[in-house]
Amino acid sequence: MRAQPKASHFIDGEYVEDTDGTVIESIYPATGEVIARLHAATPAIVERAIASAKRAQPEWAAMSPTARGRILKRAADIMRERNRELSELETLDTGKPIQETIVADPTSGADSFEFFGGVAAAGLNGSYIPLGGDFAYTKRVPLGVCVGIGAWNYPQQIACWKGAPALVAGNAMVFKPSENTPLGALKIAEVLIEAGLPKGLYNVIQGDRETGPLLINHPDVAKVSLTGSVPTGRKVAASAAGNLKHVTMELGGKSPLIVFDDADIDSAIGGAMLGNFYSTGQVCSNGTRVFVNRKIKSEFLKRLKTRTEAMRIGDPMDEATQIGPMVSWAQREKVLAYIEKGKAEGATLVAGGGIPNNVSGEGYYIQPTVFADVTDDMTIAREEIFGPVMCVLDFDDEAEVIARANATEFGLSGGVFTADLTRGHRVVDQLEAGTLWINTYNLCPVEIPFGGSKQSGFGRENSLAALEHYSELKTVYVGMGPVQAPY
Ligand code: NAD
């Protein structure tokens, strides 16, 4: 199987190679096969990408938002036309089942281009401030060259979620995908050029943790938007703060999903499974601490076990497959170690717990796993695992579960299943997180803001709120009479 791109980087409207960069092997997680060899960006490539973005940005910013938006909407159409091809590439890049990528990856990227393309004309307006004769007005101005750094779980979506608002606000972007998933973002750059985006405005360069700092510390970069783990977020935010750059941090989580005894139990189980096993559990907002009221615990676990054990694990290119491999060997090792810790610390294994035996030995597969009787102090209840491992914890009353749900450094998301409307709102109101769901889980359409609080980050992606993070206000005071100077 081959997925070799024309070259490693996409700069100034074309593919560019520099073989002096360290080799990055793109591995298909289902088989362990090397499907492409790319090179990390050298300092010369970083310079070239930023210089091209800097050159292109002023003319782009001078266009009307409507004209910029039109190009993004064209890109959305192209992505939808190529959904199958892009989804297959996403599956090769990540190992996620085609059943998912075909509905969730290029399509959500296209939604982002369509939404920001559509709101461009109205979303970037300023205001008029009457001052009794004098007046002032504000305008939203772009930041300049923005850097996007991506994680490996949603490579195409992340490339679009950062690119669309940045571009429509009049910025240029240099995007660095995760070294684990280098392929998808290059295609997004190609699509944008085909849609009519002037060259230089969306450049993609490859690299790892050595390359990121070259981008962040570059004097011509105005903003950094990172999707990644909390430790990386701390480093990136600290470097950006040194030069007072704008930052958006989309980081990790250990989110609570609370199931009250009056909840529709099958919906709650469906929400918990989607919120733990979709993308083989590699979703930042997953509700990995499932608090279940003790009164419904045994019924909940019984049905959850049956449904979990019926999930189809296997070849991600088979449309019937529901669980693919983990993204990498290292990630599977990490998750397996957490599973062993769960067993050792006394949690009850309800389903899964190891490597499935129906799949290729070379793939990075892992069984969807459920632990019950998990307590707040266990490692699996405190640390982000980023794999298909659900922890079920018992609770008895509302105040207790809210306090326990909030007892974490993370604050990305959370959810509540209950038939009691007022309780649903009351509980989410007290949960310390950026994105919350009532009677559903993990739905993130482009219309709603997404992002975290506490150690899960700051800034918001999607919705009109994202435009505020890719622009700044300029205020103009207009004097209408003579200046009254006292001297
Ligand atoms: P990671 O933090 O290891 O890497 C993320 C990106 O940062 C990669 O592109 C990597 O090359 C780069 N990087 C690493 N060190 C860097 C440094 N010092 N300076 C600059 N760049 C650096 O994360 P990952 O393993 O790729 O992704 C999984 C993590 O991402 C999980 O914690 C998950 O929760 C989080 N995530 C968050 C969201 C969100 O929207 N909140 C979405 C997806 C994933």
Contact (CB, 8 A) for 414 and 255: yes
Choose, from 146, 160, 284, 391, the residue flagged as catalytic. 284
Is 162 labeled as catalytic in the residue annotation?
yes
4 domain residue, yes or no? no
Q: Is 330 in the pocket of ligand 1 (CB under 6 A)?
A: no
459 domain residue, yes or no? no
User: Same structural domain for residues 277 and 232?
Assistant: no
Distance 384 CA to ligand 1 centre (A): 13
Choose, from 90, 100, 398, 461, the residue flagged as catalytic. 461
The CATH number that applies at residue 325 is: 3.40.309.10
* For residue 1, pLDDT beyond 80: no
Q: What is the spatial distance between Cα 199 and Cα 68, in angstroms, rounded to a whole number?
A: 13
Nearest of 353, 401, 10, 366 to residue 189 by alpha carbon? 10
pLDDT at 378: 98
Q: Is 228 in the pocket of ligand 1 (CB under 6 A)?
A: yes
Report residue 303's pLDDT band, with 50, 70 and 90 as the boundaries.
very high
Domain that includes residue 18, residue range: 9-251
* For residue 60, pLDDT beyond 80: yes
Q: What is the spatial distance between Cα 42 and Cα 22, in angstroms, rounded to a whole number?
A: 8
Q: What is the spatial distance between Cα 67 and Cα 81, in angstroms, rounded to a whole number?
A: 22
Nearest of 223, 249, 230, 87 to residue 166 by alpha carbon? 223
Coil, helix or strand at residue 390: strand
405 domain residue, yes or no? yes
What kind and span of H or E run contains 137? Answer: strand 134-142
Distance 180 CA to ligand 1 centre (A): 11
User: Same structural domain for residues 243 and 280?
Assistant: no
161 domain residue, yes or no? yes
Closest ligand 1 atom, CA of 231? Answer: 2
339 domain residue, yes or no? yes
Nearest of 391, 386, 397 to residue 375 by alpha carbon? 391
Contact (CB, 8 A) for 375 and 340: no
Q: What is the spatial distance between Cα 56 and Cα 46, in angstroms, rounded to a whole number?
A: 16
Distance 150 CA to ligand 1 centre (A): 6
Q: What is the mean pLDDT of the chain?
A: 97
User: Same structural domain for residues 53 and 17?
Assistant: yes
33 domain residue, yes or no? yes
The CATH number that applies at residue 106 is: 3.40.605.10
Is 333 labeled as catalytic in the residue annotation?
no
User: Same structural domain for residues 409 and 379?
Assistant: yes
Which pLDDT tens digit goes with each residue over 64-88? Answer: 999 999 999 999 999 999 999 999 9
User: Same structural domain for residues 100 and 208?
Assistant: yes
Beta strand 413-417 pairing with 435-438:
parallel
User: Same structural domain for residues 226 and 283?
Assistant: no
Report residue 209's pLDDT band, with 50, 70 and 90 as the boundaries.
very high
Q: What is the spatial distance between Cα 290 and Cα 272, in angstroms, rounded to a whole number?
A: 7
Coil, helix or strand at residue 104: helix
In the listed set 227, 251, 275, which residue is the last one of a domain according to the structure? 251
272 domain residue, yes or no? yes
In the listed set 229, 251, 273, which residue is the last one of a domain according to the structure? 251
pLDDT at 88: 98
Q: Is 60 in the pocket of ligand 1 (CB under 6 A)?
A: no
- The number of folded domains in the chain is 2
In the listed set 251, 278, 302, which residue is the last one of a domain according to the structure? 251
Which pLDDT tens digit goes with each residue over 333-347? Answer: 999 999 999 999 999
User: Same structural domain for residues 233 and 269?
Assistant: no
353 domain residue, yes or no? yes
Residue 384 assigned to a binding site: yes
Q: How far is CA 483 from CA 129, 133, 475, 478, in A?
A: 19, 13, 19, 11
Q: Mean per-residue pLDDT for 228-251?
A: 96
Q: What tokens were used for 230?
A: 């909390």
* For residue 357, pLDDT beyond 90: no
Q: How far is CA 200 from CA 16, 27, 190, 466, in A?
A: 12, 29, 12, 22
* For residue 2, pLDDT beyond 90: no
Angle between helices 106-123 and 65-81 (to 10 degrees): 160
Is 461 labeled as catalytic in the residue annotation?
yes
Q: What tokens were used for 260?
A: 């009250």
Choose, from 96, 100, 160, 162, the residue flagged as catalytic. 162
* For residue 358, pLDDT beyond 90: no
Which pLDDT tens digit goes with each residue over 134-153? Answer: 999 999 999 999 999 999 99
Residues 162, 163, 167, 168: what is their CA dihedral angle, to the nearest 10 degrees? -70
Report residue 280's pLDDT band, with 50, 70 and 90 as the boundaries.
very high
Residue 152 assigned to a binding site: yes
Q: Is 384 in the pocket of ligand 1 (CB under 6 A)?
A: yes
Which pLDDT tens digit goes with each residue over 82-127? Answer: 999 999 999 999 999 999 999 999 999 999 999 999 999 889 999 9
